[in-house]
Structure 1
Amino acid sequence: MRSYAVGLALGIAFLLVCWFSGCWRSPAPEAPGPQHLEVWTIALKPKFTVYMEGLFHEFEEANPQVKIDWIDLPQQNIMQKLMASIAGGVPPDVVNLTTGNALFLAQNMSLAPISQYVSTQEADEYYPGLWSSASLNGQIYAVPWYVSARVLIFNRQLLQEAGWPNARAPRSRAEVAELAADIKKHKPQSWGYYPVVRIMDDWRLANLPIYDQRTGRALFREKPYVQALEWYAQLYKRQLLPAEFLLDGYQGALERYKQGNLALLEAGPQLLLQIKADAPQVYAQTDIVPLPWSKEGKVPAALMNLAVPQSSRNKKLAVKLALFITNWQNQLKFAQEVPLLTSTWRSTQDPFFTRSNGDPLQDKAVRVSLKQLPKANDFSLSLPHARDLERLLNKAVESAIYGDKSSSQALNEAAQAWDKIIEASGYGEKND
């Protein structure tokens, strides 16, 4: 509960500063005459300077009253600077945010509801699951931009050495456990699986709602939720997962895969380029398949968005710029610069995405990713104090996997703490 108290204190401090600085007052009138739009992005310079400056120049030519001021920031700095700028009454007009950060700011009434400035026709240009990712109380608070959806990357040679017929990738979690045991038996210095556990993603992929939509109260005390967590705990108990896998995360999994010591890697397909550059021998044995965990084909996605602070004096124009940057033509141009996918369905129909680049695995990665996009969702939590709620579940996962508590006890205690946080936030009262 200490993390909740700290988060609550920070949230209250932010609320008070914003109250006195006026960042939630009635919107100021749109400023007349030539307008400067300040745009903040994350880690795009210098590689994409030419692309971004070309977009801004094109927008300025179409809107002669506009002058765009572009600031690019490291991801680890942007939230601190953004919150300070909002509290100080000098926010950017358009800001690049992860879905989780956009929802956090929307919950604090710091972002403008994009949906109030966007037509149905404009919204329909985006994949529905991605468009609704930053949704809160029936409003959309960010325009989706570029996206990476997870796939299952695997080492054919390790599967063959473990006795798997035709080096076929597992098609279920039961088969993953079977493969992990076979790798342990035949290749004791290697690992079959190295998961980055996001238990809420697992529940959503299994169509298990995490909380009651009206009250916000936890729903994960029941047997199907416990079984999903217990699956990881049993793998760890059988020594089929590395001792440090919860600490090392993606980087630990990627390093072992590049060393040829990991059979399965669940990650974005863009990591194939890094594997190819750093470990060409492993890359030569690599194949991919769609993520097989959901019967409906749903897949977790990491999404970047563009949002507009509530205290921007040029919200309508800022939304226009966000829509311009993310329209299907400009997203297609961006996809030609970087191996990521677009959030607009029309751009993915371009022949660029089906044209061979001479690398069969890269071509397959594009095909697999495009097939998954209509079912891709950024599963960031849209509840008050989402970060504290996520920390509760992370602690429950750790205590269950390390054997400090049973999976049932860990989730029951997390659910009790979850409900207290939600009750203190007044979430249920707002929805009555």
Structure 2
Amino acid sequence: MKRKGMAAIGVAAMMAGLVACGSGDGGTADGDKKLTVWVMDGSAPKEWVEELNKEFEAAHEGVTVEIEEQQWNGIQERITTALSEDAPPDVIELGNTQTAGYAVTGGLADLTDIKADLNYDNWNKGMLPSAELDGKLYAAPWYAANRVVIYDKKIYEKVGVEPPTNRQEWIEGLEKIRKSDKDVQPIYLPGQSWYVFAGFLWDEGGDFAVEDGDQWKGALATPEAEKAISFYKKLQSFSKAPKDTDEATPQQSTDVVPKGDVASWIGLGWEAAGAVEAIEKAGGEADFGYFPIPGKTSEKPGSVFFGGSNLAVAERSTDKELAQEWLKAATSEKWMKKYAEATAGGLLPNTEAAQVRPESGSFAEAMVKASGVGNITPVTPGWANVETEPNPIKEYMTKVLKGTDPTKAGEEADKVISERINKS
């Protein structure tokens, strides 16, 4: 999943200045060892990675750590090629929905034997599943982020609406906004925001696909999915957004929200930051508030999709032991806490103990409140095939929003999901 700039408001372009060099050959001319680490653009703050590598190199005489920054565009093909070479990068950042696909090919080192050294038992339970496959550990969770509701404080205050704590209060507030001003969208919610729908689906106890023997099958033609899409449809009725596009078409944060007349929307930290920048650039003043996506009751927030990354060691690394040592350090509680501090709480570290206290009223504060109910898509190598356009989940959502019976639309989607997810 692409997550460029996922950090919350105020986190700068974190990767600026990272050295993009090194050939992944595992050594230098004088015999000293070189460890090559691939990280994605927007993932590792410059100061954090420099301090980490300085300490690591001091503890491992003769070792130099080379950081190579990668772009998300085309990354899957580059990683696939790199993992098949004799001297691949030693440590690689992988999207959490991509990890299983690389693990099944044999490209990633099995880390099961060092689980204890990696602080496995204390990892965020929502991040952990993406790092495992068939009972074995192939990566360490690094960071994640989730969506929250972003609202215009002025509109909410004018109408007299308070941030809700459950779905009923949420709907009541949107109704109140709609009745008060016909020109204002109570919420901007495109018909195909399937990451938002995922949370509603998990709240109902459902999922996109379930295991069926040694195969997987789609699970949208179910009572759980029908309840989830019914709530999504109700929520989407308060929006003027298209029913056949997602949040990026048009980009809600920069192409829709800055034009005004949007009381609330659901987005990531980088989207909130983008909206603020666009509004201020146009001479306006952004005044956003944030709250977790409400749950069915006030006892806990609604479930959220965790978008994030893992760190893995290449099976063909020329020094897997050294690579594992760097991985242990980078994902340790000590360095994860420093990571959370460096990103101003805008990204969730892999353990709750490393989470910093976010600023009151910030996007990060709302995000952290929902971090305990984070989840990911089915962990199987074939899941990447499901997300390929045309995405059957998106098509299912549009059909239901336009009047198709949820069961019929679900059966059509399940056929495609089942076919794609079982492809190698």
User: Which residue matches 2:162?
Assistant: 168
**Aligned match of 1:334 in 328, 339, 353?**
339
Following the alignment from structure 1 to structure 2, what is the Cα–Cα distance between the partners of residues 214 and 120? 34
Matches within 5 A, 1:236-315: 240-243=239-242, 246-249=245-248, 252-255=251-254, 256-269=256-269, 271-279=271-279, 283-284=286-287, 286-293=288-295, 295=297, 296-297=300-301, 298-315=303-320
TM-score by length of 2: 0.77
**Aligned match of 2:374 in 376, 389, 400?**
376
Q: Contact between 2:112 and 2:136, CA under 8 Å: does it hold in 1?
A: yes
The 1:337/1:91 distance shift into structure 2, 3 A limit, reads same
Cα RMSD (Å): 3.1
C-alpha distance after superposition, 1:391-413 (max 9, x if no partner): 2222222333344x432211111
Q: Contact between 1:40 and 1:95, CA under 8 Å: does it hold in 2?
A: yes
Percent of residue pairs bearing the same amino acid type: 19
- 5+ residue gaps in structure 1? 1-32, 426-432
User: Which residue matches 1:223?
Assistant: 223
The 1:336/1:251 distance shift into structure 2, 3 A limit, reads farther
Q: Contact between 2:174 and 2:238, CA under 8 Å: does it hold in 1?
A: no
Asked if 1:189 is matched to 2:217, the reply is no
Following the alignment from structure 1 to structure 2, what is the Cα–Cα distance between the partners of residues 264 and 311? 48
Following the alignment from structure 1 to structure 2, what is the Cα–Cα distance between the partners of residues 308 and 294? 40
TM-score by length of 1: 0.76
The 1:77/1:384 distance shift into structure 2, 3 A limit, reads closer
State the SS of the aligned residue for 1:336.
helix
TM-superposed deviation, 1:229: 2.0
The 1:276/1:306 distance shift into structure 2, 3 A limit, reads same
The 1:402/1:141 distance shift into structure 2, 3 A limit, reads farther
TM-superposed deviation, 1:201: 3.4
User: Which residue matches 2:89?
Assistant: 92
User: Which residue matches 2:35?
Assistant: 37
Following the alignment from structure 2 to structure 1, what is the Cα–Cα distance between the partners of residues 120 and 225? 34
Q: Contact between 1:173 and 1:293, CA under 8 Å: does it hold in 2?
A: yes
Following the alignment from structure 2 to structure 1, what is the Cα–Cα distance between the partners of residues 351 and 397? 35
TM-superposed deviation, 1:424: 5.9
The 1:394/1:110 distance shift into structure 2, 3 A limit, reads farther
**AA at the equivalent of 2:185:** W
The 1:380/1:90 distance shift into structure 2, 3 A limit, reads farther
- 5+ residue gaps in structure 2? 1-30
Q: Which has the higher helix share?
A: 1
Q: Contact between 1:99 and 1:380, CA under 8 Å: does it hold in 2?
A: no
The 1:61/1:74 distance shift into structure 2, 3 A limit, reads same
Following the alignment from structure 2 to structure 1, what is the Cα–Cα distance between the partners of residues 114 and 313? 11
Following the alignment from structure 2 to structure 1, what is the Cα–Cα distance between the partners of residues 64 and 121? 29
User: Which residue matches 1:117?
Assistant: 114
Following the alignment from structure 2 to structure 1, what is the Cα–Cα distance between the partners of residues 296 and 130? 18
Q: Contact between 1:233 and 1:402, CA under 8 Å: does it hold in 2?
A: no
State the SS of the aligned residue for 2:130.
coil
C-alpha distance after superposition, 1:118-160 (max 9, x if no partner): 2167213422322333222112322122222322221233234
State the SS of the aligned residue for 2:315.
coil
